[in-house]
Amino acid sequence: MTSNYISGVLESTDRDQIMADLANVRAKLPFTIKMSNKAKQALPKMGDKSQAFVRKAMEVAVQHQDYLPRSFDLLEMQRDIALFEALYPIVMELNQLQATLDDTLAAVGSDAYSAALQVYRHMKAHGEGSGLDSYVEDMGQRFGRKSRKQEMAKGVSQ
């Protein structure tokens, strides 16, 4: 017996609305960029510990601007920190959503594939000679091996 991990329905109107909502989210984030993995790996990373360091550095920079080179753009640093702090909770929420969507997709895919395997096994075992042979053969191609009939035909022709 196959497991049924999930049972649900996503109406096409809801899917379309979600896609429109995601397009709206993208439109509200016009400054986002796409980077290669290599470029991302080369960047200094800001984790939880680094956030406190960055905030402290900004406090020091604001209070002691005269120690910074004239080319240092304090306003840009402040904008970067503000954007990071605004994006961080959104990214955390999206990561959680992505994880649950990944798990849901894996579960529903497993359910569908397990059911398909069950159909295939039953048709293969009980459908011979009932006009289902071509369907069973087509489905069997998924497993990348030849049916006995094909092997026997090949053996006879040699």
- Residue 110: pLDDT band (50, 70, 90) is very high
Whether 122 is in a domain gets the answer yes
pLDDT for 52 equals 93
Whether 119 is in a domain gets the answer yes
pLDDT for 141 equals 82
Alpha-carbon Rg for the chain in angstroms: 29
Whether 37 is in a domain gets the answer yes
pLDDT by residue (tens digit) across 15-51? 999 999 999 999 999 999 999 999 999 999 998 889 9
* Residue 158 clears pLDDT 60, i.e. is over it: no
Whether 154 is in a domain gets the answer no
The pTM of the full predicted model, rounded to 2 decimals, is: 0.74
Whether 86 is in a domain gets the answer yes
pLDDT by residue (tens digit) across 49-87? 899 999 999 999 999 999 999 999 999 999 999 999 999
Q: Are 32 and 141 in contact (CB under 8 A)?
A: no
Domain count, the chain: 1
- Residue 144: pLDDT band (50, 70, 90) is confident
pLDDT for 148 equals 63
Burial class (CB in 10 A: 0-12, 13-18, 19+), 146: middle
* Residue 134 clears pLDDT 70, i.e. is over it: yes
Range of the domain at 60: 12-126
Whether 72 is in a domain gets the answer yes
Whether 64 is in a domain gets the answer yes
**Average confidence (pLDDT) over 12-17:** 98
Whether 101 is in a domain gets the answer yes
Amino acid at 123: M
Q: Are 136 and 125 in contact (CB under 8 A)?
A: no
